């Protein structure tokens, strides 16, 4: 069996992240025990391997397979909190695992589906799978700013798409925030489909004077 950084029982390695402090306005929910690499809790949590991802990503072997676009089978709606949207057994057994086999505390997410970049940089601890899920959700729950709306209205189709999505969201949940939110920008394309690398786009996307991060990942979305 091939070496995998994610599954020690198959001859791989790995590390256990520390509990994380609040990051970019949200608090990663680390109040549950997490499986130790190679320990009994790890085996119990996975039953040998995670059921929703391949052993490791062939394209992005250092990225946890539950996050990698070519291996993950996880689809969850970014309109809703991942803690409630993702199957509990999947959420709790993966959220505190490291996002990468190589430690990192600078993890940037960009997309061709929305214009915002998401920086995850918890001081002194490694970025976890759960931080990635939570950061995506938190970013897209932010209200669209007046200056952003001023640009959106220049594109009639985008404006209509956003307004229709906001109407659908608030009708489905009357208690929902009535303000136009970033998630509405996506219309119906709100399902997480995984992360991939696109260094050429990342270079183009980088705002002048902004520092490039090695761990810059493109999130793929679907309807």
Rounded Cα distance between 205 and 208, Å, is: 9
Per-residue pLDDT at 18 exceeds 80: no
Listed range (47-51, 157-161, 173-177, 185-189) with the worst mean pLDDT: 47-51
Listed range (18-32, 95-109, 141-155) with the worst mean pLDDT: 18-32
Per-residue pLDDT at 160 exceeds 90: yes
| Structure confidence by residue, pLDDT tens digits, 101-153 | 988 999 999 999 999 999 999 998 999 999 999 999 999 999 999 999 999 99
Report pLDDT for 44.
39
Report pLDDT for 11.
39
- Percent of the chain topping pLDDT 70: 75
- Percent of the chain topping pLDDT 90: 70
Higher pLDDT, 19 or 53: 53
Per-residue pLDDT at 24 exceeds 60: no
Report DSSP letters for 5-50, one per residue.
SS-GGGT-----PPP---BTTB-----S--PPTTSHHHHHHHTTS-
Confirm if 181 and 142 have CB atoms less than 8 A apart: yes
Report pLDDT for 17.
34
Mean pLDDT of the chain: 81
Confirm if 161 and 140 have CB atoms less than 8 A apart: no
Which whole number is the average pLDDT over 178-185? 97
Exposure b/e, 64-103, CB count within 10 A at least 16 = b: bbbbbbebbebebebbebbeebbeeebbbbbbbbbbbbee
pTM to 2 decimals? 0.78
Listed range (28-37, 133-142, 193-202) with the worst mean pLDDT: 28-37
| Structure confidence by residue, pLDDT tens digits, 37-72 | 333 433 333 334 444 555 778 899 999 999 999 999
């Amino acid at each position: 069996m091939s070496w995998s950084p994610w599954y020690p029982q198959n001859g791989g390695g790995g590390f256990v992240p520390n509990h994380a402090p609040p990051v970019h306005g949200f608090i990663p929910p680390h109040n549950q025990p997490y499986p130790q690499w190679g320990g009994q809790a790890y085996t119990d949590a996975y039953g040998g391997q995670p059921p929703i991802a391949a052993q490791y990503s062939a394209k992005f072997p250092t990225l946890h397979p539950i996050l990698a676009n070519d291996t993950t089978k996880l689809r969850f709606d970014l309109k809703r909190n991942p803690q409630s949207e993702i199957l509990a057994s999947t959420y709790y057994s993966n959220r505190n695992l490291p996002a990468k086999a190589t430690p990192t505390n600078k993890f940037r997410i960009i997309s061709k589906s929305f214009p915002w970049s998401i920086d995850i940089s918890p001081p002194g601890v490694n970025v976890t799978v759960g931080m990635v899920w939570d950061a995506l959700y938190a970013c897209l729950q932010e209200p669209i700013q007046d200056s952003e709306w001023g640009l959106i209205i220049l594109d009639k189709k985008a404006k209509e798409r956003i307004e229709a999505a906001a109407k659908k969201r608030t009708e489905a949940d009357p208690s929902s925030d009535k303000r136009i939110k970033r998630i509405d920008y996506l219309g119906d394309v709100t399902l997480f489909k995984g992360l991939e690398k696109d260094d050429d786009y990342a270079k183009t996307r980088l705002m002048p004077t902004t520092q490039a991060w090695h761990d810059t990942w493109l999130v793929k979305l679907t309807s």
